[in-house]
Amino acid sequence: MSDLAFKYLAAAIAVLPLGLVGLAVGKIFTTLIQCIAQNPAAKEKVYALGLIGVAMTEAVALFALSVAFIVLFS
């Protein structure tokens, strides 16, 4: 295999976590909606924690995508 093929393979492997990030964000919002439906009084605190969780999860996606771009274009 050539070096270019290894670059493409490494970039493809680096992007694999993006699918799991989508599942994680869906799970976070599903749990957030269920929690608010069961206890509306805790909406403000739970909503803030949910958004922090989504932001941290999306940061993982951003890191994975940046690693893929670095591998692909270096």
Supply the range of the domain harboring residue 28: 3-73
Where does the pLDDT of residue 69 fall: very low under 50, low under 70, confident under 90, or very high at 90 and above? very high
The CATH number that applies at residue 62 is: 1.20.20.10
pTM of the model: 0.78
Residue 68 binned pLDDT confidence (cut-offs 50, 70, 90): very high
Dihedral angle, C-alpha 42, 43, 49, 50, nearest 10 °: 130
> What is the chain's percent helix, strand, coil content, to nearest 5?
95, 0, 5
| Number of structural domains in the chain | 1
